[in-house]
Structure 1
Amino acid sequence: MGLSNQTTEKVKDRVDIEEVVNDYVSLKKKGQNLWACCPFHQEKTPSFSVSPSKQIYKCFGCGKAGDPIQFIMDIEGIGFTEAIRHLAKKYGIEIEEEQSQDPADIQAYNERESLFIAVNFAREFFQQNLKTDEGQSIGLSYFKERGFDLATIEKFDLGYALNSWDQLLLEARKSGFEVDNLLKAGLILERENSPGHYYDRFRGRVIFPVHNLSGKAIAFGARILTQDKKQPKYINSPETAIYHKSDVLYGIYQAKQAIRQEGNCYLVEGYTDVLSMHMAGIENVVASSGTSLTESQIKLIKRFSDQVTVLYDGDEAGIKASLRGIDMLLEGGLNVKAVVFPSGEDPDSFARKSGKREFQDFLKAGQKDFIHFKIDLFAGEAAGDPIKKAEAIRQVVLSIAKIPDPIVRSVYAKESARLLAMEEEILLTELNRQLLKQQSKPAARTEEVLPLEETLPTSPEEEKDKLQPKTIREERELIRILINYGFEKVSDEMHVCEYLLEEIKELQFDTPVFQKLLLHYKKALLQGILPKYDYFLNTQDAGVKKEVIDMIAQNREISLNWEIKHQIFTRKESDDLSETSYRISLKLKSAYLKKMRLEVQEKIKDATETELNELLPVYMEITQLKTKIDRELGNVIPSRN
């Protein structure tokens, strides 16, 4: 069960890119476009551009680009359907559901929606309980003792469960909720020795709602306030159809914007750690809520930042027990730093003891990359004991081996050898041994193990370029001209697109996304549509949409004052589209001829005499054609090309 096409189309028709983006950043007009510092990465000079006329955004710093719907998907970290719902709510558009033909799908959807409704009813109930005499004297008083102000209590929807066996159950049934639904939501329990009789799961406890990325409550954590040894200090909602604890981080909804802006995510253990850090002015913080870190949680962090800083209580034994989390973060492709609090302190207690400035300064001064952190952690016990020092080195190497990027891995290996005062080659040998062990595991990634000097020369950009087709630049330029000017005329009887498509009719593009765009363009023409950029922005293909936005977004605009005031005129590619079209078609042909000649050269290397007699005339013909085109383009022909 999903959204109807009518709802999606209404949203697309109604949304305005300026209104949507202005909810998150302050836009300033410069030329035809609006500009701001990018909300997706840190920067001091604005490189985030919004085009009201084209209804697109593009950051020329980090490359993020899209339409209003994509912006909501990027900024909120949600999928397409949730983004449509979000925008429909903003613009007051009624959401129409499209009925699935599969009864099982309908049932699953309805069950999930009913659980959301039940859990959010409970959230409101717990919040209202804080206003009761019991709630104020026990629940609110506890929050205030912990230093949480009303703004923080409201921000995180904190509440209180009355010390009653069935107060929530009674209120929920009065509001029309069925017992079965409350059971599935994990809000009530059935008495063991009394079937058909139920009681509230949460009683006499302060409540910490857990939210999903879109801000809906999906579960609860609850802390008891009395010294009852028979009761656990914390109890949590069970797994349900809407709550899987391994997929959730406490505080992610409140933190996601700050994580993006700061380019870093602080990772703590408990609810109150998160709340106290917010009180200290640090909002880019989430908690694993006492559970072991999972791959899903790591992927959730990576959606918003590549940097994570783990905050540890000042307990050495506890730190060592949780080091596996650092290795998992590294394996997930995150850059990892760590901060250790003084003995006996945790983020909650230290934040409450110190002022905002002191706490923030402590985090900045105390953070270490995982290499320095691990070496310092094992330094004391390894001093003077060669066996323990060897084990400490092995622990450091094990962590480095988890890093997927070979260049980052190599840099850390070099730094570790320096800090540990050992020969780099010995450390590299151990690193390669660990990498080989990982490769031997069935599920491990296959990656060639190379010594440091063999991994360093090639940059990520160079590696990426090696994998790209040789004709990518020319293919992109031709598609860009098609999208921006294909509907313009090169003569009284011919459009730019007609000329270009005729010139390249025998070519099959090597770059998949540009071949896809070319096919889209031809399909539109067959349907009698002379497509402009907005035709391609309506596609659901994110790769296609991003390429189109990159092609139509302008990083620089020529000031109108140049011509109006100063009479300075500059030549634009649109001034002579016949010349522009002609040259780009020649450049593409030249690129393909170069590729063909390289292919023939490779065949010549291993050719027999008979094959050589066939290949050499082909090689000469290709060379002559390419030389002719290059001369036409005015290119300098080197003696060895």
Structure 2
Amino acid sequence: MGISRGTTDKVKERADIEEVVNDYVPLKKKGQNLWACCPFHNEKSPSFSVSPAKQIYKCFGCGKAGDPIQFVMDIEGVGFNEAIRHLAQKYGIEVEEDKEVTPQDIQAFNERESLYIALGFAKDFFVANLQKEEGKAIGFSYFKERGFSQAIIDKFDLGYAMDGWDHLLKAAKKSGHSEEILLKAGLILQKEGEPERLYDRFRGRVTFTIHNLGGKPIGFGARILTQDKKQPKYINSPETEVYHKSDVLYGMFQAKKSIREKDNCYLVEGYTDVVSMHLSGIENVVASSGTSLTENQIKLIKRFTDNVTVLFDGDAAGIKASLRGIDMLLEGGLNVKAVVFPEGNDPDSYSRKVGSNAFQEYLAKFSKDFIAFKISLYAEEASNDPIKRADLIKQVVQSLSKIPDPIIRSVYIRQSANLLEIEEEIIQIELNKILLKVQKDQFYREQREENETPVEDYLPVQKESVSYTTQLMAQEREMMRMLVSYGFEMVSEDLRVCEYLLQETAELNFETPVFVNILVIYKKALSDGLLPRPEYFLDSPDPEVKKEVINMITRRHEISKLWEDRHQIFTPDEADDLAKSVYDSILRLKQKVLKKMLEEAIHKIKEGEAQKASDEEISQSQMVYMELKKFQVEIDRQLGIVISS
């Protein structure tokens, strides 16, 4: 069920960006704005700006931007509704649910809430079992043997499921939980062929509570403590309405704050690895819980840091089988390091063996970037075998191709060449082959999606027109900035900036989606009798629109008033001569549109000549080109651009 518009409006009115941000980072006044080191990425010089006047924040380092609600969403890693609830609690605002919902919406909301309540009951039940005779003797003893303190047991909501068929079922039903909800929560099972026969899913096992980012229990992992080979070592909650394995990392709720502070996330395999590392004083750690990494899990890590360190058990065969996960992390835009523990050890066993200080020293000493790590894995067997050496080079290049940032990729190319003792050019050539294939595959895929026949000759045109497309996008952005920032201003006695801009660009088609969306919102506001100012767009449900508008209206550097007040030094501003600023902006946009049209006209002429089109068709294309060229020359002249003959 959604939160009512009234509650959202009250939160927006009451939430102060300075107060909200100050809960997380200390702000210092500089000029008209407040500044801090960004809480979203690691930096030494403050580039995180808060504008109390505009009620927005923007980081000029990582690009994060938004209003108080967006800040809570970013810093806490929660959705819109959770952020509203968080701020409502901070300001003592009563949360009202949206009454304009269908019966189906209400039913779905109630069911989700019932699942959370049932899972919360199960968590409390398993935790309480540790204080009972059986739980103390078996579950609590197991945790104590592993060195888990009471504080750690409480921190992770560790528990014990009694060794019986229906302990949880009976207790839950007695507390008012229905069998239907318990089934949907994955807490009980139905015997096949006997629908009336229900029993507990978790029995005779220690339990590890899986939390969502807000701290609510959404599932469980349970470890058997006997040597029964017929039973799996671990069983886990099934997929439910509130628990999707591919979206969850164990320990993220407990780790998110530390991950941000350390700007690094340790990635391990199991529940006990996470808990043991917390015991060793390392809290920025999460587990994939024995499953292969997914794109959503990688995106979850990236919400809190760009750096991940993968911890591997000391098993060479297992490590090589897990390398695909590293490539996925690279493809997700993360900076990856790796640590391997001595043979036969995992993070849990090694931390218990050597103690907290030695464990932390080991991580610091043996952490390698992914290239050095990957090469070292195969170095010995590839040293005297040319075929294996060539295969290693191909594997390294394949990993390099996954890195989306070209600057980071170039650094790793150089390092790889040094470690592999080959020339950089060889790696670059092989890498270019892969990247070109990826680009072609992407191009053909887009063509198929548009039901067009891919034409090989189009590829060079795509490459050549990139610069024109980029220039056009930049000028579209500038046009939107003028519209959003000054649309309500008068450009003459009877004409506003927005009227002038919209008239002059009526025949132009904007190509960048976010600018098209801004234009649609602007025109809709005008049709509703509103003259939108920049703040109007901050209420947009489209986060991309909000972020783009904040980028448009936020400046990193401001000219000090002392220059004018004390030194009488006046610096011209675009607003001082708005008519000229707007006019020049329109001309530049038209100039960029014409450049792209000229490029397309040239291509059409070349294509016609290559396909032996008729003289009339080629002549027609040439005439179009000449007309466009005349317009370009005239616009260049008005902009003061002199073309040398």
TM-score range, shorter chain: 0.7 to 0.9
Question: 2 CA distance for matches of 1:463 and 1:215?
Answer: 51
Matched, 1:316 2:325: no
Question: 1 CA distance for matches of 2:532 and 2:402?
Answer: 48
Question: 1 CA distance for matches of 2:321 and 2:363?
Answer: 22
The answer to whether the Cα contact below 8 Å between 2:264 and 2:309 also exists between their aligned partners in 1 is yes
Question: 2 CA distance for matches of 1:212 and 1:112?
Answer: 13
Alpha-carbon shift at residue 613 of structure 1 (Å): 8.0
Corresponding residue of 1:213? 213
Question: 1 CA distance for matches of 2:24 and 2:198?
Answer: 45
Instruction: Report matched runs for 1:428-447 at 5 Å.
Output: none
Instruction: Report matched runs for 1:502-517 at 5 Å.
Output: 502-517=503-518
Distance 1:298 1:593, change over 3 A: closer
For residue 639 of structure 2, give the secondary structure of its aligned residue in structure 1: helix
Question: 2 CA distance for matches of 1:175 and 1:463?
Answer: 69
* AA matched with 1:291: T
Question: 2 CA distance for matches of 1:445 and 1:332?
Answer: 21
For residue 223 of structure 2, give the secondary structure of its aligned residue in structure 1: strand
Corresponding residue of 1:301? 301
Alpha-carbon shift at residue 254 of structure 1 (Å): 2.3
The answer to whether the Cα contact below 8 Å between 1:438 and 1:444 also exists between their aligned partners in 2 is no
Alpha-carbon shift at residue 117 of structure 1 (Å): 1.4
Corresponding residue of 1:181? 181
Matched, 1:31 2:57: no
Distance 1:625 1:496, change over 3 A: same
Distance 1:196 1:336, change over 3 A: same
Question: 1 CA distance for matches of 2:529 and 2:429?
Answer: 64
Mean Cα deviation higher: 6-15 or 282-291: 6-15
Mean Cα deviation higher: 106-115 or 533-542: 106-115
Matched, 1:325 2:325: yes
* AA matched with 1:33: N
* AA matched with 2:639: D
Question: 1 CA distance for matches of 2:445 and 2:361?
Answer: 40
The answer to whether the Cα contact below 8 Å between 1:85 and 1:95 also exists between their aligned partners in 2 is no
Distance 1:583 1:233, change over 3 A: closer
Calculate percent identity across the aligned residue pairs.
62
Corresponding residue of 1:471? 472
Question: 2 CA distance for matches of 1:180 and 1:630?
Answer: 72
* AA matched with 2:638: I
TM-score normalised by length of structure 1 = 0.83
For residue 554 of structure 1, give the secondary structure of its aligned residue in structure 2: coil
Instruction: Report matched runs for 1:49-64 at 5 Å.
Output: 49-64=49-64
Corresponding residue of 1:348? 348
The answer to whether the Cα contact below 8 Å between 1:313 and 1:319 also exists between their aligned partners in 2 is yes
The answer to whether the Cα contact below 8 Å between 1:314 and 1:341 also exists between their aligned partners in 2 is yes
Question: 2 CA distance for matches of 1:438 and 1:614?
Answer: 38
Corresponding residue of 1:628? 637
Question: 1 CA distance for matches of 2:406 and 2:77?
Answer: 28
Question: 2 CA distance for matches of 1:168 and 1:467?
Answer: 66
Corresponding residue of 1:116? 116
Kindly report the root-mean-square deviation, in angstroms, between the aligned alpha carbons of the 2 structures. Answer: 4.0
Deviations 1:433-463 (A, max 9, x none): 888999999999799xxxxxxxxxxxxxx99
Corresponding residue of 1:269? 269
Distance 1:417 1:499, change over 3 A: closer
For residue 482 of structure 1, give the secondary structure of its aligned residue in structure 2: helix
The answer to whether the Cα contact below 8 Å between 1:488 and 1:495 also exists between their aligned partners in 2 is yes
The answer to whether the Cα contact below 8 Å between 1:186 and 1:240 also exists between their aligned partners in 2 is yes
Question: 2 CA distance for matches of 1:440 and 1:587?
Answer: 32
Deviations 1:5-30 (A, max 9, x none): 44444443343323333333232332
Corresponding residue of 2:239? 239
Matched, 1:639 2:640: no
Distance 1:562 1:181, change over 3 A: same
For residue 468 of structure 1, give the secondary structure of its aligned residue in structure 2: helix
Corresponding residue of 1:19? 19
Deviations 1:558-584 (A, max 9, x none): 344445555554443334434444443
Corresponding residue of 1:551? 552
The answer to whether the Cα contact below 8 Å between 2:468 and 2:596 also exists between their aligned partners in 1 is no
The answer to whether the Cα contact below 8 Å between 1:11 and 1:93 also exists between their aligned partners in 2 is no
Question: 2 CA distance for matches of 1:390 and 1:438?
Answer: 22
Question: 2 CA distance for matches of 1:492 and 1:629?
Answer: 24
Corresponding residue of 2:283? 283
Distance 1:416 1:464, change over 3 A: farther
The answer to whether the Cα contact below 8 Å between 1:48 and 1:58 also exists between their aligned partners in 2 is yes
Corresponding residue of 1:457? none
Corresponding residue of 2:456? none
Alpha-carbon shift at residue 176 of structure 1 (Å): 0.7
Question: 1 CA distance for matches of 2:32 and 2:471?
Answer: 35
The answer to whether the Cα contact below 8 Å between 1:469 and 1:510 also exists between their aligned partners in 2 is no
Alpha-carbon shift at residue 72 of structure 1 (Å): 2.9
Corresponding residue of 1:521? 522
Question: 2 CA distance for matches of 1:11 and 1:186?
Answer: 36
For structure 1, the 5+ residue unaligned runs are 448-461
Matched, 1:530 2:535: no
Mean Cα deviation higher: 64-73 or 41-50: 64-73
Mean Cα deviation higher: 325-334 or 594-603: 594-603
The answer to whether the Cα contact below 8 Å between 1:315 and 1:344 also exists between their aligned partners in 2 is yes
The answer to whether the Cα contact below 8 Å between 1:88 and 1:94 also exists between their aligned partners in 2 is yes
Distance 1:282 1:444, change over 3 A: farther
Alpha-carbon shift at residue 272 of structure 1 (Å): 1.7
For residue 182 of structure 2, give the secondary structure of its aligned residue in structure 1: helix
Question: 2 CA distance for matches of 1:443 and 1:508?
Answer: 23
Distance 1:417 1:181, change over 3 A: same
* AA matched with 1:313: D
Mean Cα deviation higher: 621-630 or 548-557: 621-630
For residue 24 of structure 2, give the secondary structure of its aligned residue in structure 1: coil
Task: Report how many residues are paired.
Answer: 621
Question: 1 CA distance for matches of 2:313 and 2:130?
Answer: 31
TM-score normalised by length of structure 2 = 0.82
